[in-house]
Amino acid sequence: MKVHSAQLFDYLKEPLKSQLLAHDLRQAEPRFGKIDYDIDGRAVGNWFLEGTGAYDNHGGGEDYWAGHRSLVYDALDPSGVMVSIGDWQGQALQFGVKGNSPDPEDVSVDKGMVKYELVMTDYLVTSTGQKWDRQHYVNGLTFVDIDNVPSAVKGVLAVQLIESRKLKVETFLGKTADQVTGFTAAAIIYER
């Protein structure tokens, strides 16, 4: 399991360090990004289908990610909450959380079932408020969920931390949070 990654910029000397930082889209610290969000007793972080051995999922084959889920923060603007699902109707997809709430770092065993409405995301150029074209460098991006289009909510991810390192999960495709009242027999346990 990958529990930490070193910060590349900490190992670079000037002037290379400053030259690369000047072209880094991520403005938040740590500037090289972050993958180690796991906090025991909280929903935030990476989760693996129970009994699969984390990254050795499906025998380490081509689709090892199918049993992975994560509740983390956007790579460029960590104010955005992201959900990665290793198998969403046969493909690995990422979604934003509508309204960026609830913060997965605040979801503990005491919270019970929590529902995340899943939406597509985009970026605005912070200084202008215009949509980023994803082709030109800009200094400052703001994460936004796209909730103003028809059928914006693609589904709901329901989670419940049942132990410090066990998460009950169910995905409800095409539903909104008010249409989900509880888990069904299709709920699956994830661990880390």
pLDDT digits 0-9 by tens, 4-47: 678 888 888 999 999 999 988 998 888 888 888 999 999 999 99
- Whether 24 is in a domain gets the answer no
Distance in angstroms (rounded) separating the CA atoms of residues 165 and 105: 13
Total tally of structural domains belonging to the chain: 1
pTM exceeds 0.85: yes
The residue assigned the tokens 């699956």 is 188
- Whether 130 is in a domain gets the answer yes
pLDDT value at residue 81: 96
Confidence bin at 131 (pLDDT 50/70/90): very high
- Whether 10 is in a domain gets the answer no
CA distances from 59 to 62, 130, 143 (A): 9, 45, 36
Residue 161: is its pLDDT beyond 80?
A: yes
